[in-house]
A and B are shown apart, each in its own frame.
Chain A
Amino acid sequence: MGTLLDVRDLFLYYATRKGPVKAADDISFQIGEGEAVALVGESGCGKTSVGISLLRTLPRNVHTYKGEVILDGEDIMKLDDEEFRRRIRWKKISMVFQGAMNALNPVLTVGFQVAEPLVIHEGMDKKKALKIATEYLMDVGLREMFVERYPHELSGGMKQRCVIAMSLIMNPKLVILDEPTSALDLMTQANIMNLLKRLKRDRKLSYLFITHDLPLASELADKVIVMYAGKMVEKGTAEQIYLDPKHPYTQKLIASVPILRGEKELEYIPGEVPSLIDPPQGCRFHPRCPYAKDICRKEEPPSIEIEKEHSVACWLYAE
């Protein structure tokens, strides 16, 4: 399995009146071909910022945006906006947006929206594009009649399928899934997850699966990256993270997952996510960490490789 995407030292800061918001701070990871990487963390820890910085759909108030993003051996950070739009967006990287309810324009038909990337990138005529869009919609499990429907005529799950079809239409190599099932009920969520799994298998897709839902991530992910306050705290294969979490934050996160009909009292992490404008010195997790030591308060922990592919940023494991 070759490496498809190699992200090195990615920074994304937003400018605000109070100072820069360090939404993604020194992020590095790889995604192999046909591999699904889950990006897990609490709300507001910078997961989506990583996603949009890969696709370069940045808001206006960007403060710092740097790093290397090597896709298929090419540093796409060096491309100018126009070239990026023409060559990368949707052709190589596509995205399924948070909340399908909102990711479709309410006044355009579903078919038109799914077909639109083809019209834009290939200059295809509308009829032909619509025909291909129909195929894709049928591939994600929708009937042909929905092509001419408006989004409000579809259920949440159907809309999500449309958005997935839209993300696949240009045959990208990498699909960023930003909380693709967060607004759906459990059954629909399961259906969508199965669909994503099937598509991954059939089309050899790579996923960057952004979610706050650890159990859900375990369904799909080959590798898991845990983020906290804009920093990567731990990354490893799914087995390593779920079975043997090293970072105190990961451990707490897994402990807070409810189990069906269990007697377990759910754990939670005292305190709250720190402000990303003025993060705590040293390890960003130290105010909430039960094992915090002196050094945690002073210096940022380095990324320590514990075993192959499993690294953790914590002073506890520093020898």
Chain B
Amino acid sequence: MSAPAPVGLKTIFKEMMGTISGKLGVAIIIFLIILSMAVPVYTSPGTIKKWNNPKAWVDYPKCAAPGWTDLFTKKTYCRNMVFNPQDFYKYSESIGGIYRVIYLIGVIEYNYDSFPNIMDGFKISLITNSSENLLVNITLMRPDDLSATLWSDSIYVTGQTLPIVTELSAMDHDIKKGTCTFIRRVTGENIDWKGVIPHIALFAKVDPNMNDPCKAEVLKGKYKLLIWAITYDPDADLDAKFIVYGSVYGLAGTDARGRDITIGILWGAPIALAFGLMASVILGFLHAIFGVMAGWFGGKIDEVIQRATEMLMIIPTMPILILISFLFRVNVWTLIAILVALNPLGGSTLTIRSMVLQIKEEQHILAALAYGSSNYRIMFKHIFPRILPYMVVGIVMSVPGYIFLEASLSILGLGEPTLPTWGKILSDAFNHRALYLGWWWWILIPAILIIITAFAFGLLGYSLDKIVNPRLREI
């Protein structure tokens, strides 16, 4: 037994909410909408403009796993720690008005079970406005009362604009050499400085293997970074910034450029929804309108639309899209325009045409014609509502296809150039061999979101189809 198809979008929605798949689909879509709205809450809207600017991400660790990785292991991973100039204790004195000594002390509570980020380790920036050369010494004092001199050198100021920023990263040769000296001193091993990994050795318990990331054990406790400088400029000032890059970061980790994937994911949600929905709604309506026109007018118009549909269906969209994206950098909105230009007619045009052929023979259409309705009115007021349920199902069902299309173009490296879309994040992961290197979060998180989005629309379409398609209806 089949029941009559329900009338009106409200009834359809109500019935849809009665099915499990409908509820699940709606729930996922609501979740995605919340994700979309979370961008301004999570970060300032301006951040997104800096997405492709490497300078904006220097304070972030590279390839850090999501923060919640802790929950699945017994270890606590090193969080990202940023010590800004104001976080340092500063002491400076001018000696005899001839030269000046400046001390900076930063205290680091290191209570994690893992070493800092294996890629970057840490970074020290020295900012000075001194007009004379500085002699600087950087020493790390460890909880076991050992201390390592990391750097002892001069900052030459001649011919440079103030303030002068000197950046020292963990893998700099000077730091490596300083750490090497420290290891030799405390272990007595004669190792080559080139093989030293400062951020492992400096944070490890004293052991012959303290330079080996796999064997070294973390030394927990209070570290102090002591920086002192001497200069002949009595007014000189020195500030420092110290970053210990975490091995985990945020909700979704970071990528190889240190970009916070959470921001990319959040920003990608509205883009994916908007792109998928816009493409499918525009194309769905366009196909339907042409289908109605073909069916209603018949004759030459019908013939032209049908043949044009067949021709356009033969033209392969994907290769042409690849070609266009290869020649011009297209963003997602241009992509929609290209899709519309390539596919103004589609399979559903023919289906809707055949539905209209049937509907237009019904007596109420003759009645409408008889009481003076114009062609336009009959097509849009009388015929359109009849094909609307079918069209809505088609639109909902085709959303995942367009989301996948955008992702596939991105993976081929031809996607959106500026905004972080999910496909673009995946593409970056692919280009950085993330899967090979075990950076699972970079791939899994956007991939899962793409899949659940497709899944949500699929479920919605499935439940809608059950409601509006009389053959699938059961009592």
* A binding-site residues for B, Cβ under 8 Å: 55, 57, 60, 85-86, 89-90, 94-95, 97-99, 102-108, 113, 116-117, 120-121, 150, 152, 163, 166, 170
Contacts and interface: CB of A to CB of B under 8 A. Distances in A.
A104 B8 CA distance: 16
Contact of B371 (A94, A98, A107): A94
B370 A95 contact: yes
A102 B362 contact: yes
B298 to A, nearest CB: 7
Given A106-B7, A150-B7, A152-B4, A89 B364 contact: no
Interface residues of B, number: 24
A90 B369 CA distance: 10
B374 A103 contact: no
A102 B363 contact: yes
Given A107-B385, A108-B381, A152-B7, A117 B372 contact: yes
Pick the most buried of B4, B299, B372, B373: most chain A CB atoms within 10 A of its CB: B372
Contact of B364 (A95, A105, A150, A152): A105
B267 to A, nearest CB: 40
Contacts of B308: none
B382 interface: yes
A89 B372 contact: yes
B368 A116 contact: yes
B367 A166 contact: yes
A103 B377 contact: no
B385 A108 contact: yes
Given A97-B363, A103-B366, 16 more contacts: A57-B369, A85-B374, A94-B370, A95-B367, A95-B370, A102-B362, A103-B363, A107-B8, A107-B386, A108-B382, A116-B371, A116-B381, A120-B372, A120-B373, A152-B4, A152-B7
B377 A120 contact: yes
Interface in B383-407: 385-386, 388
Given A60-B298, A152-B4, A90 B371 contact: yes
A146 to B, nearest CB: 15
Contacts of A152: 4, 7
Interface of B: 4, 7-8, 298-299, 362-374, 377, 381-382, 385-386, 388
Interface of A is mostly: mixed
A86 B372 contact: yes
A143 B381 CA distance: 25
A86 B372 CA distance: 7
Contacts of B8: 107
A56 B278 CA distance: 42
Contacts of A102: 362-364
A54 B82 CA distance: 88
B363 A98 contact: yes
B370 to A, nearest CB: 5
Nearest to A163: B367
6 contacts: A57-B369, A89-B371, A120-B377, A121-B372, A163-B367, A166-B367
B372 A85 contact: yes
Nearest to A96: B367
Contacts of B298: 60
A71 to B, nearest CB: 15
Contacts of A89: 370-372
Given A60-B298, A105-B382, A150-B7, A116 B373 contact: yes
Nearest to A104: B364
Given A107-B7, A152-B7, A97 B366 contact: yes
Contacts of B7: 106-107, 150, 152
A315 B217 CA distance: 123
B389 to A, nearest CB: 9
Contacts of A108: 381-382, 385
A150 B386 CA distance: 13
Nearest to A98: B363
> Which 7 interchain pairs have the tightest Cβ spacing?
A102-B363, A107-B385, A89-B372, A117-B371, A90-B371, A105-B364, A103-B363
Nearest to B378: A105
A105 B368 contact: yes
Nearest to B386: A107
B386 A57 contact: no
Contacts of B364: 102-106, 113
